[in-house]
């Protein structure tokens, strides 16, 4: 059995973004603009935090899936590729987390 990855999700979002809004929730979100996508991502982030605080494992897993989906839709709305985020993470992992965070103080 193959394993579903975040790259599979990104590819699904790309495909659905090319579909019509009448058949694609992803397309409907994108048609409402990046600001709307950001708000949806924020809502999912709050719901994920609540599930974590309530220590509800199943709810946390479900909300985490929603969060990742809406995060990738937001990236799509702003024209940011998952590979760009991965490159930023790769660059950061070349040093300790504390060193990396200190290096961003000037940003």
pLDDT tens-digit readout, 58-104: 999 999 999 999 999 999 999 999 999 999 999 888 777 677 677 77
What's the rounded Cα separation, in Å, for the pair 25 and 21? 7
pTM: 0.85
Q: What is the mean pLDDT of residues 42-57?
A: 97
Burial class (CB in 10 A: 0-12, 13-18, 19+), 69: buried
pLDDT of residue 99: 72
Higher pLDDT, 107 or 88: 88
Contact 68, 6 (CB under 8 A): yes
Start-to-end CA span in the chain (Å): 44
Residue 23: pLDDT band (50, 70, 90) is confident
């Amino acid at each position: 059995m193959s394993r579903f990855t975040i790259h599979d999700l990104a590819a699904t979002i790309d495909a659905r973004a090319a579909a019509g809004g009448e058949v694609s929730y992803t397309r409907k979100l994108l048609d409402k603009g990046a600001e709307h996508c950001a708000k949806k991502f924020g809502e999912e982030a709050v719901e994920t935090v609540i599930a974590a605080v309530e220590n509800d494992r199943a709810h946390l897993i479900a909300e985490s899936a929603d969060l990742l989906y809406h995060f990738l839709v937001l990236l799509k709305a702003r024209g940011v590729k998952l590979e760009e985020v991965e490159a930023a993470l790769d660059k950061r992992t070349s040093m300790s987390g504390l060193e990396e965070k200190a290096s961003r103080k000037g940003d």
